[in-house]
Chains A and B, each alone.
Chain A
Amino acid sequence: KQEVTQIPAALSVPEGENLVLNCSFTDSAIYNLQWFRQDPGKGLTSLLLIQSSQREQTSGRLNASLDKSSGRSTLYIAASQPGDSATYLCAVRRSEKLVFGKGTKLTVNP
């Protein structure tokens, strides 16, 4: 059974800091991995999608990497801003199942 773990559960940083969020998964036979952002009381917004054959994807200040063999992904946020404060979820897809981690709650302090 696929399990997805995100560490840390919560992170508080000062504005301007570069930071890394971690995601690990137990079964490397995945189709892809997706990073989402969730604001309090809201739905999920897709940030980055990495296919199993890819190593990384970039969008603006965000960079996500994937090491399928070791079952790890990282989300790098450069020059963090207070508006980046949210919960970040990683999810891996295998067949029809999308398995989520429990998320990392990020707070960026002005």
Chain B
Amino acid sequence: DVKVTQSSRYLVKRTGEKVFLECVQDMDHENMFWYRQDPGLGLRLIYFSYDVKMKEKGDIPEGYSVSREKKERFSLILESASTNQTSMYLCASRTDRGLYNYGYTFGSGTRLTVV
């Protein structure tokens, strides 16, 4: 089974800190994604990457950046954390190999609280 691992289940950070959220997948998937999930707003796409060193903005990229130096690892960076970035962050991966439209595999999430 594909496994997507997010390194932290819970994080508490202070306003203004630089925060790194890490995600690793073990099935050689080309595509990786970062979402945030908030009550009433659902899941929203922050950034995605379709290859090493490639990145694309999603629907809400402001205040975030990403890094993908290795195929299996996709990092979300909060340059200067703010309280409105308190949220559940979910990482996902997907392959596009072959003609089949594969589904997404999600990690277990990181609950980030910014105080």
Structural contact, B108 and A43, CB atoms closer than 8 A: yes
Residues of B within 8 A of A (CB): 6, 31, 33, 40, 42-43, 45, 48, 50, 56, 88, 90, 92, 100-109, 111
Mind listing 17 A-B residue pairs with CB under 8 Å?
A32-B101, A34-B104, A36-B106, A41-B109, A41-B111, A43-B90, A43-B109, A44-B90, A46-B106, A89-B43, A91-B104, A93-B103, A96-B50, A98-B33, A100-B43, A102-B42, A103-B42
Bound CA span A99–B110, Å: 20
A43, B101: Cβ atoms closer than 8 Å: no
Q: Is A42 an interface residue (CB 8 A)?
A: yes
Shortest B28–chain A CB gap in Å is 18
- Chain B residue at smallest Cβ distance from A100: B43
- Count of A-B contacts with CB under 8 A? 51
Q: How far is the CA of A96 from the CA of B35 in the complex (A)?
A: 13
Interface residues of A, dominant DSSP: strand
List, in ascending order, chain A residues with CB within 8 A of B45's CB. 97-98
Complex: A97 Cα to B31 Cα, angstroms? 12
Query: Which residues of A pack against B, CB within 8 Å?
Result: 31-32, 34, 36, 41-46, 49, 51-52, 89, 91, 93, 96-98, 100-103
Residues of A within 8 A of B102 (CB): 49
Checking B6, B88, B104 against A46 with a beta-carbon cut-off of 8 angstroms, the contacting residue is B104
Nearest CB of chain B from residue A4's CB, rounded to whole Å: 9
A89 to B104, CA, bound (A): 13
* A32-B101, A34-B103, A97-B45 known; A42-B56 Cβ under 8 A: no
In the complex, the answer to whether B56 meets A96 with C-beta atoms within 8 Å is yes
Name the B residues within 8 Å of A45 (CB-CB): 106
Instruction: Give the residue of A32, A36, A42, A52 whose beta carbon is less than 8 angstroms from that of B108.
Output: A42
A42 to B107, CA, bound (A): 9
